[in-house]
Amino acid sequence: MKKSVLLGILLFGFLGSAQPIEWMSLDEALAAQKENPKKIIMDVYTKWCGPCKLLDRKTFANPYVSAYISEHYYAVKFNAEGQEEIKFYGNTFTNPNYDPKRKGRNGTHQFTQFLGVTGYPTMIFISETGDPIMPVVGYHSPQQLELYLKLIKQGDYQVFSTAEDFDNYRKNFVPRFKG
Protein backbone atom coordinates (compact mmCIF):
# COMPACT_ATOMS: atom_id res chain seq x y z
CA MET A 1 0.00 0.00 0.00
CA LYS A 2 2.74 2.44 1.00
CA LYS A 3 4.67 1.60 -2.17
CA SER A 4 1.68 2.32 -4.42
CA VAL A 5 0.99 5.64 -2.68
CA LEU A 6 4.66 6.62 -2.99
CA LEU A 7 4.69 5.57 -6.64
CA GLY A 8 1.55 7.65 -7.25
CA ILE A 9 3.10 10.70 -5.61
CA LEU A 10 6.30 10.31 -7.63
CA LEU A 11 4.39 9.81 -10.87
CA PHE A 12 2.16 12.80 -10.16
CA GLY A 13 5.21 14.88 -9.33
CA PHE A 14 6.93 13.82 -12.56
CA LEU A 15 3.89 14.50 -14.73
CA GLY A 16 2.94 17.63 -12.86
CA SER A 17 6.36 19.04 -13.63
CA ALA A 18 6.51 17.71 -17.20
CA GLN A 19 8.00 20.28 -19.47
CA PRO A 20 6.29 21.41 -22.63
CA ILE A 21 7.75 20.17 -25.89
CA GLU A 22 10.77 22.16 -27.01
CA TRP A 23 10.03 22.79 -30.67
CA MET A 24 12.90 23.48 -33.06
CA SER A 25 13.46 24.17 -36.73
CA LEU A 26 14.15 21.32 -39.15
CA ASP A 27 17.75 22.56 -39.57
CA GLU A 28 18.25 22.43 -35.79
CA ALA A 29 16.77 18.92 -35.57
CA LEU A 30 18.88 17.58 -38.45
CA ALA A 31 22.01 19.07 -36.83
CA ALA A 32 21.05 17.57 -33.44
CA GLN A 33 20.67 14.15 -35.08
CA LYS A 34 24.36 14.24 -36.01
CA GLU A 35 25.30 14.59 -32.32
CA ASN A 36 22.63 12.31 -30.84
CA PRO A 37 20.61 10.25 -33.35
CA LYS A 38 16.85 10.33 -32.67
CA LYS A 39 13.86 10.32 -34.93
CA ILE A 40 12.07 13.58 -35.73
CA ILE A 41 8.37 14.32 -35.41
CA MET A 42 7.41 17.32 -37.53
CA ASP A 43 4.09 19.04 -36.92
CA VAL A 44 3.05 20.54 -40.27
CA TYR A 45 0.38 23.13 -39.46
CA THR A 46 -1.21 26.37 -40.62
CA LYS A 47 -2.18 29.41 -38.56
CA TRP A 48 -5.86 29.19 -39.57
CA CYS A 49 -6.29 25.45 -38.92
CA GLY A 50 -8.66 24.66 -36.03
CA PRO A 51 -7.61 21.00 -35.64
CA CYS A 52 -3.95 22.18 -35.56
CA LYS A 53 -4.73 24.42 -32.60
CA LEU A 54 -6.63 21.58 -30.91
CA LEU A 55 -3.63 19.28 -31.43
CA ASP A 56 -1.40 21.84 -29.68
CA ARG A 57 -3.83 22.48 -26.84
CA LYS A 58 -5.08 18.94 -26.15
CA THR A 59 -2.45 16.51 -27.42
CA PHE A 60 0.98 18.14 -27.47
CA ALA A 61 0.26 19.80 -24.11
CA ASN A 62 -0.60 16.42 -22.54
CA PRO A 63 2.18 15.62 -20.02
CA TYR A 64 2.48 11.99 -21.18
CA VAL A 65 2.79 13.03 -24.84
CA SER A 66 5.22 15.88 -24.17
CA ALA A 67 7.42 13.70 -21.92
CA TYR A 68 7.50 10.88 -24.50
CA ILE A 69 8.25 13.18 -27.43
CA SER A 70 10.90 15.09 -25.47
CA GLU A 71 12.69 11.87 -24.53
CA HIS A 72 12.52 9.99 -27.83
CA TYR A 73 12.20 12.56 -30.63
CA TYR A 74 13.35 15.91 -31.89
CA ALA A 75 10.18 17.97 -32.30
CA VAL A 76 9.83 20.32 -35.27
CA LYS A 77 7.06 22.84 -35.98
CA PHE A 78 6.67 23.76 -39.63
CA ASN A 79 4.17 26.33 -40.92
CA ALA A 80 2.92 24.84 -44.20
CA GLU A 81 2.16 28.35 -45.48
CA GLY A 82 5.12 30.18 -43.93
CA GLN A 83 8.13 31.78 -45.53
CA GLU A 84 10.95 29.79 -43.88
CA GLU A 85 13.66 28.55 -46.25
CA ILE A 86 14.17 24.79 -45.94
CA LYS A 87 17.21 22.85 -47.11
CA PHE A 88 16.49 19.14 -47.38
CA TYR A 89 17.93 16.37 -49.57
CA GLY A 90 20.18 18.85 -51.34
CA ASN A 91 17.21 21.02 -52.36
CA THR A 92 16.16 24.46 -51.18
CA PHE A 93 12.44 24.96 -50.63
CA THR A 94 10.72 28.33 -50.27
CA ASN A 95 7.25 29.78 -50.55
CA PRO A 96 7.31 32.06 -53.61
CA ASN A 97 3.55 32.69 -53.31
CA TYR A 98 3.72 33.86 -49.69
CA ASP A 99 1.97 37.21 -49.23
CA PRO A 100 2.70 38.90 -45.87
CA LYS A 101 -0.41 41.11 -46.29
CA ARG A 102 -2.79 38.16 -46.46
CA LYS A 103 -4.83 37.20 -43.46
CA GLY A 104 -5.93 33.58 -43.15
CA ARG A 105 -4.86 31.17 -45.88
CA ASN A 106 -1.64 31.86 -47.74
CA GLY A 107 0.49 30.25 -50.44
CA THR A 108 1.52 26.65 -49.84
CA HIS A 109 5.22 26.16 -49.09
CA GLN A 110 7.19 24.08 -51.62
CA PHE A 111 8.41 21.82 -48.79
CA THR A 112 4.79 21.06 -47.87
CA GLN A 113 4.22 19.92 -51.45
CA PHE A 114 7.49 17.92 -51.46
CA LEU A 115 6.33 16.03 -48.36
CA GLY A 116 2.99 15.26 -50.03
CA VAL A 117 0.95 16.90 -47.28
CA THR A 118 -2.73 16.92 -48.23
CA GLY A 119 -4.37 18.09 -45.00
CA TYR A 120 -3.67 19.85 -41.73
CA PRO A 121 -2.40 19.02 -39.29
CA THR A 122 0.00 16.39 -40.61
CA MET A 123 2.73 14.90 -38.47
CA ILE A 124 5.69 13.68 -40.51
CA PHE A 125 8.07 11.19 -38.91
CA ILE A 126 11.69 11.29 -40.08
CA SER A 127 14.33 8.62 -39.39
CA GLU A 128 17.63 9.16 -37.58
CA THR A 129 19.28 9.42 -41.00
CA GLY A 130 16.89 12.09 -42.27
CA ASP A 131 14.60 9.92 -44.39
CA PRO A 132 10.83 10.49 -44.22
CA ILE A 133 9.12 7.48 -42.60
CA MET A 134 5.42 8.23 -42.75
CA PRO A 135 2.80 10.97 -42.38
CA VAL A 136 -0.04 10.93 -39.87
CA VAL A 137 -2.84 13.21 -41.03
CA GLY A 138 -5.42 14.95 -38.85
CA TYR A 139 -6.10 15.61 -35.21
CA HIS A 140 -5.24 12.75 -32.87
CA SER A 141 -5.97 12.50 -29.16
CA PRO A 142 -3.06 11.66 -26.83
CA GLN A 143 -4.04 7.97 -26.87
CA GLN A 144 -4.39 7.90 -30.66
CA LEU A 145 -1.03 9.60 -31.18
CA GLU A 146 0.60 7.27 -28.65
CA LEU A 147 0.16 4.38 -31.07
CA TYR A 148 2.17 6.20 -33.78
CA LEU A 149 4.80 7.57 -31.39
CA LYS A 150 5.57 4.08 -30.08
CA LEU A 151 5.16 2.33 -33.44
CA ILE A 152 7.73 4.65 -35.04
CA LYS A 153 10.08 4.82 -32.03
CA GLN A 154 10.26 1.03 -31.70
CA GLY A 155 10.61 0.47 -35.46
CA ASP A 156 7.52 -1.76 -35.59
CA TYR A 157 6.37 -0.05 -38.80
CA GLN A 158 9.25 -1.78 -40.64
CA VAL A 159 7.71 -5.24 -40.26
CA PHE A 160 4.34 -4.45 -41.82
CA SER A 161 3.85 -5.80 -45.32
CA THR A 162 0.10 -5.22 -45.64
CA ALA A 163 -2.56 -2.85 -44.38
CA GLU A 164 -3.97 -5.81 -42.47
CA ASP A 165 -0.70 -6.04 -40.50
CA PHE A 166 -1.14 -2.46 -39.35
CA ASP A 167 -4.83 -2.99 -38.56
CA ASN A 168 -3.95 -5.97 -36.35
CA TYR A 169 -1.25 -3.95 -34.60
CA ARG A 170 -3.71 -1.09 -34.01
CA LYS A 171 -6.43 -3.42 -32.69
CA ASN A 172 -4.02 -5.03 -30.23
CA PHE A 173 -2.36 -1.79 -29.10
CA VAL A 174 -3.19 -0.81 -25.50
CA PRO A 175 -2.69 2.91 -24.87
CA ARG A 176 -1.00 3.90 -21.62
CA PHE A 177 -1.19 7.71 -21.87
CA LYS A 178 -3.86 9.32 -19.71
CA GLY A 179 -6.17 12.22 -20.43
Domain locations along the chain: 19-141
Q: Which amino acid is at 171?
A: K
- Hey, what CATH topology would domain 19-141 get? Glutaredoxin (3.40.30)
Task: Say what the pLDDT of residue 104 is.
Answer: 87
Task: Say what the pLDDT of residue 164 is.
Answer: 93
Task: Say what the pLDDT of residue 146 is.
Answer: 97
Task: Say what the pLDDT of residue 1 is.
Answer: 52
Nearest-angstrom CA–CA distance, 96 and 101: 14
β-pairing verdict for 73-79 and 23-24: parallel
Residue 15 in this model has a pLDDT that exceeds 60: no
Residue 9 in this model has a pLDDT that exceeds 50: no
Mean pLDDT for 24-37 is 96
Residue pLDDT, tens place only, 137-175: 999 999 999 999 999 999 988 988 899 999 999 999 999
Nearest-angstrom CA–CA distance, 106 and 87: 21
Please report, rounded to a whole number, the percentage of residues in the chain having pLDDT higher than 70. 90
